[in-house]
Chain A
Amino acid sequence: MPADYDKGAYPEPPRQTPAVDKQTALPNPALILSKLFYYSVDLPVTTFRDAVDSIRANNKSVYYHQKFRRVPDLTDCEQGDYICYYEAEMQWRRDYKVDQEIVKVIQERMRACQQREGASYHQNCGKEIQQFNEVTKNFQSRYGDLGGYASGRKCLMKQKERMMAAAQAPSA
């Protein structure tokens, strides 16, 4: 994980290292193997990484996260104003990508929780599972079944159908 991840969403599990309780004089094979792994794999990889970082230290560059301004939506456009349609469509596509990434992040949190808890994830990951179910249900109702040629207009029509179904359901 990168160094600046959200510590609240991915809590570290409690350490399960048992207290050292040697009852024999024989050497511990797990200790020997871990030291072997450290000297044969971990140390060379870390020194290589440090060497490459020191080479790169003098020309570091940075990149930024692009923020887009909000433009009028498809519902705020005049009839026949194709420029407005285009800007609304581009904004809808950016929002679609952002929503896909949101679903992926929530899914990643649920997977991390399951990995942490092990066999008892049904009981301990209730919040993450409920969050994931809610987010995926909302995503499905908004963007599901739009297909590969999805556009802002089709999404708007889907919303209209949803609102019509919701309006008819309590009256029927």
Chain B
Amino acid sequence: MVGMSVLRSAAAFAARLSPLKSGNNAANLLSRTIPRTDKVAVRWGHGKKLFVIKPSDYYDRRFLRLLQYYVLLTGVPVAVFVTCVNVFVGEAELVETPEDYEPEHWEYYKHPITRWIARNIYDSPVKDYEKMMAAIQIEKEKADTRLTQLEVRRHMRQKGDGPWFQRPTLDKGLIDYSPKSTPDN
């Protein structure tokens, strides 16, 4: 009877243990020892591998990769071109203007690329100056014309003998003077 209750309690205990854990097979159920964790050999080699959970940085890295690619796509050729110009063509040197020589407008700049731009793309500064002065001249003439127009208008309104400020009326040759043409009518 006592052995029956011991057997029943042992069966209940064995049923509670999970069969999947490694120390729980029938061979060493009764003879296994408790593992002592303070006497295990611990080696700090490369450390324990951890699976760190963080948000995805794929999109950020893709953006930076694409930015780098597209910037360098034109940046590197431009840098190579400018380096070649500086090495093979070189900057100009400052000299005194020789007598009776009128330098072209691009010969006043130092760097070869600036000289090229001034020669082929931009207008000469003399031409820009003249263009500005032509624009000023046109505006001045417009302003003077407007002022004279106002003056003429004032005169014509006052004196009334100009083509402006005239009111169309009937022809004075159509007036019939016959009722008053003789004194006895």
Q: Check A82–B93 contact: CB distance below 8 A.
A: no
Q: Check B112–A61 contact: CB distance below 8 A.
A: yes
**In A47-101, which residues have CB < 8 Å from any B CB?**
52, 55-56, 59-67, 80, 82-83, 86-87, 90
B87 at the interface (CB under 8 A from A): yes
B154 at the interface (CB under 8 A from A): no
B66 at the interface (CB under 8 A from A): no
Please give, as numbers and ranges, the residues of chain A lying within 8 Å of B96 by CB-CB distance. 64-65
Q: Check A61–B115 contact: CB distance below 8 A.
A: yes
Could you name 14 residue pairs across A and B whose Cβ atoms are closer than 8 Å?
A: A55-B87, A56-B89, A60-B93, A62-B95, A63-B93, A63-B108, A63-B110, A65-B94, A65-B97, A82-B137, A83-B133, A83-B136, A86-B132, A90-B129
Give the interface centre of A66, A80, A90 by most chain B CB atoms within 10 Å.
A66
CB distance from A72 to the nearest CB of B (A): 14
Interface residues of A (CB under 8 A from B): 52, 55-56, 59-67, 80, 82-83, 86-87, 90
The majority secondary structure among interface residues of chain B is: helix
For the complex, count residues of B whose C-beta is within 8 A of A.
24
Please give, as numbers and ranges, the residues of chain B lying within 8 Å of A82 by CB-CB distance. 136-137, 139-140
Starting from the known contacts A60-B92, A63-B107, 8 additional A-B residue pairs (CB-CB under 8 Å) come to A52-B87, A62-B94, A63-B93, A64-B103, A83-B136, A83-B137, A86-B132, A86-B136
User: Assuming A82-B136, A83-B136, A83-B137, is B88 touching A64 (CB within 8 A)?
Assistant: no
B162 at the interface (CB under 8 A from A): no
Task: Give the 7 A-B CB pairs with smallest separation, nearest first.
Answer: A56-B90, A63-B92, A61-B92, A64-B97, A64-B103, A62-B95, A66-B108
A80, B87: Cα distance in complex, Å: 53
User: Assuming A64-B97, A83-B133, is B92 touching A56 (CB within 8 A)?
Assistant: no
CB distance from B117 to the nearest CB of A (A): 14
Query: Please, which residue of chain B has its CB at the minimum distance from the CB of A86?
Result: B136
CB distance from A62 to the nearest CB of B (A): 5
Q: Which of B88, B129, B140 contacts A55 (CB 8 A)?
A: B88
Query: Please, which residue of chain B has its CB at the minimum distance from the CB of A52?
Result: B87
Q: Check B133–A59 contact: CB distance below 8 A.
A: no
Q: Check A63–B132 contact: CB distance below 8 A.
A: no
A66, B124: Cα distance in complex, Å: 13
Q: Check A64–B87 contact: CB distance below 8 A.
A: no
Please give, as numbers and ranges, the residues of chain B lying within 8 Å of A61 by CB-CB distance. 90, 92-93, 112, 115
A63, B87: Cα distance in complex, Å: 18
Q: Check B108–A64 contact: CB distance below 8 A.
A: yes
Query: Please, which residue of chain B has its CB at the minimum distance from the CB of A67?
Result: B97
Please give, as numbers and ranges, the residues of chain B lying within 8 Å of A67 by CB-CB distance. 97
CB distance from A6 to the nearest CB of B (A): 15
Please give, as numbers and ranges, the residues of chain B lying within 8 Å of A60 by CB-CB distance. 90, 92-93
CB distance from B115 to the nearest CB of A (A): 7
Query: Please, which residue of chain A has its CB at the minimum distance from the CB of B133?
Result: A83
Q: Check A59–B108 contact: CB distance below 8 A.
A: no
A157, B44: Cα distance in complex, Å: 84
